[in-house]
Amino acid sequence: MAVNSNPSRFYIGSAYYPEQWPEENWQKDIALMREAGFNVVRLGEFAWSTIEPEAGKFDFDWLDHAIAALAGAGISTVMGTPTAAPPAWLVHQHPEILAVDENGRRVQLGNRCHYCVNSTEFHRAARRVVKALAEHFGPNPHIVGWQLDNEYNRYCYCDNCRKQFHEFLKSRYGSLENLNNRWTTRYWSQTYNAWEQIPLPIGPHNPGLMLEFKHFVTESYRRFQHLQIAELRPKLASTVWITHNFMEWHDGYDHYRMTEELDIASWDWYVGTGHLDYQLSGTAHDLARGYKRRNFWLMETQPGNVDWKPLNNKVNKGETRAMAWHAIAHGADAVLYWQWRSAYGGQEQYHGSLIDQSGQVRPIYREVQQISRDIAKVTDLLSGSKPVAEVALLNCYDSRWSIQWQRHHQDFDYVSHLRHYYRPLAARNVSTDIISADAALDGYKLVIAPALLIVTPQRAANLKAFVENGGHLALTLRTGMKDEYNALLPLRQPGALAELAGAEVEDYYALFDPVPITGEDWSGVSRIWAERLKLRDDATRIIAAYGASNGWLDDQPAITAHTYGKGQVTLVGAYLDDNSQQRLLDRLIRTANIQPDLDTPPGVEARKRIRSNGQEILIVINHTRTEQHIPLPWPVYEHLSGQRFEKEIRLAGYEVAVLTRA
């Protein structure tokens, strides 16, 4: 569909819950939103009991009024389908729609997402409410997009889910014989001779079964999501998009599969405790941008503080603005705060908001107002622009799950390891895409595949073609160990990639003590993990070797480089300390001839967004609290202040600059 993926305007706003307030309050709220410079709010995503107070009886008047009043103030609406909050009457009539937890207990009404995603009765109720919303609000010109549900997150272990799991396995494996083989079920007498014998995994289980359960959960949510899309799509204008609000590195399902049918991706970003660490949060923005490989919406972010951490500090004055610009620099086309106003009751009474319970603006309101003013100044400039990266980090949910269940070292965490490759790139302002391990790799100079445990024949072929055509590939530890059924490959690591790497893994070691390691012009340690590499080709070069440690690793190759076709493959068997990792990534950046977006002092981030006409916009953010001097390679025009700078720009703490070449 011709979705407006390059919107002609930027959006700023918040989640708004008019159903929590008498209608006479709304005008005051809306006037304050207007003064804040808002042009969008999200409505309705938890309002099922107000939208449909009884089965089949709908009340849309209040929403009609709210949308019209907002539109009157120039504020568009993102409409949420309310299925994350099945109402009391529904649960009372059909208690079987409540999910069953791992201990066999039905979850309770009163929080969110308490439904069984496969419940027929729940599907019926969800379809009914979404259909009614679609028919009534589908043609509404003030609605720019729809959000389905909110933060899918629950697993259900009811009998119905188990039956459906069996159907899922039947269609995937065809026969029990095949399934038994793939899962090596003779091991510990797990051989199945009827589909009904197969359990839903609770706790550690057969690796094949565990992986398929994750696939089943993904397919269950896809089906549920599709049911809503099928009702909505035919009723929407072609420019109105559909999304879901995802949670960054949530591991409940495969987000690439989940976003296939959505028009744009959106996500909610909360710092929680502490402060913005842009080299960490950058991964989450780039992850969201990678789902659809296009700009995304930041559908929720914290105005100051959250309420669900052990310590809910407010971020510093100025930091919220830095957060907004950080998101935009990484490809957000909208920034929405959660939430507009603190409700008197409900579970989130202490959460940050722009308007407090008395209806007065909190101090942070002024900062958000400034963000709106900033955005208004550069909307035309930024419209249609997007980050463009020469480096890709591959992300694979199957590999992540598999490692998470069999970490082998308690401190080995898939996402931390991926971030260990991201951080040195971020420190150099190298734009990076985080994309599916199955995505096309055209246009990248450097591809890093952190802990790509599962290597399918298709993936191996993709990576091979990439390197043959001149790409630089970095493979890391734990790569190429398993197939798509979570079984060990009958090959040494990195499996089918060994030929490209010109090396293989003789053995792997979870480390009790760090192991010394010496590179070409650096020395450091490997911690957590080390792989002993063996060269397979005379042309393979040793980039780093282990020093004396456990005997097995002493003097053995730790990192190798190999030329293959027109490209190069680096195989990293070590989990380096931070300094050595920076040296390694600097080497990769250099050899792959990657251009950083700008050289900046530590704590200052610079990211480019590129317009369709090729014009580069440089967003520079001082994430520190002190003034920073940033040397400029060319004279620039700064769009927020309207000033020109020749050789240097100075940014006060948390200050932001939006630059183009003068």
Start-to-end C-alpha separation, the chain = 38
Minimum CB distance to ligand GAL smaller for 270 or for 291: 270
CA 477 – CA 508 distance, rounded (Å): 9
**Least distance to ligand GAL, CB of residue 357, Å:** 16
**Least distance to ligand GAL, CB of residue 147, Å:** 10
Other C-beta atoms within 10 Å of 84: how many? 23
Question: Per rule CB under 6 A, is residue 337 in the interface with ligand GAL?
Answer: no
398 contacts: CB under 8 Å, gap ≥ 6? 211, 214, 254, 453, 454, 484, 486
Report the residue from 306, 322, 335, 447 that binds ligand GAL according to the rule CB under 6 A. 306
CA 462 – CA 441 distance, rounded (Å): 8
Position with the least CB separation from ligand GAL: 306
CA 191 – CA 187 distance, rounded (Å): 8
Question: Per rule CB under 6 A, is residue 85 in the interface with ligand GAL?
Answer: no
* Spatial contact of 139 and 112, defined as CB atoms under 8 Å apart: no
DSSP three-state, residue 570: strand
Question: Per rule CB under 6 A, is residue 338 in the interface with ligand GAL?
Answer: yes
Query: How many residues sit in the footprint of ligand GAL (CB under 6 A)?
Result: 10
Question: Per rule CB under 6 A, is residue 244 in the interface with ligand GAL?
Answer: no
Report the residue from 52, 149, 151, 398 that binds ligand GAL according to the rule CB under 6 A. 151
Minimum CB distance to ligand GAL smaller for 254 or for 268: 268
CA 255 – CA 400 distance, rounded (Å): 12
Q: Which of 19, 45, 151, 231 is catalytic?
A: 151
Binding track over 268-287 against ligand GAL, x by CB under 6 A? x-x-----------------
CA 378 – CA 466 distance, rounded (Å): 37
Nearest-5° angle of CA 272, CA 276, CA 277?
115
Question: Per rule CB under 6 A, is residue 427 in the interface with ligand GAL?
Answer: no
**Least distance to ligand GAL, CB of residue 305, Å:** 9
Please indicate whether residue 121 is annotated as part of the active site: no
Question: Per rule CB under 6 A, is residue 531 in the interface with ligand GAL?
Answer: no
CA 48 – CA 80 distance, rounded (Å): 10
Question: Per rule CB under 6 A, is residue 326 in the interface with ligand GAL?
Answer: no
Question: Per rule CB under 6 A, is residue 289 in the interface with ligand GAL?
Answer: no
Quote the DSSP letter at residue 552: S
**Least distance to ligand GAL, CB of residue 254, Å:** 20
Question: Per rule CB under 6 A, is residue 149 in the interface with ligand GAL?
Answer: no
Minimum CB distance to ligand GAL smaller for 350 or for 634: 350
Partners of 553 in beta bridges: none
Other C-beta atoms within 10 Å of 176: how many? 18
Q: Which of 52, 219, 300, 319 is catalytic?
A: 300
DSSP three-state, residue 426: helix
* Spatial contact of 581 and 424, defined as CB atoms under 8 Å apart: yes
Partners of 645 in beta bridges: 636
Minimum CB distance to ligand GAL smaller for 29 or for 268: 268
**Least distance to ligand GAL, CB of residue 44, Å:** 12
**Least distance to ligand GAL, CB of residue 622, Å:** 26
Please indicate whether residue 52 is annotated as part of the active site: no
Question: Per rule CB under 6 A, is residue 504 in the interface with ligand GAL?
Answer: no
* Spatial contact of 143 and 64, defined as CB atoms under 8 Å apart: no
| Chain residues that interact with ligand GAL, rule: CB under 6 A | 150-151, 245, 268, 270, 300, 306, 338, 348, 351
Catalytic machinery residues: 151, 300
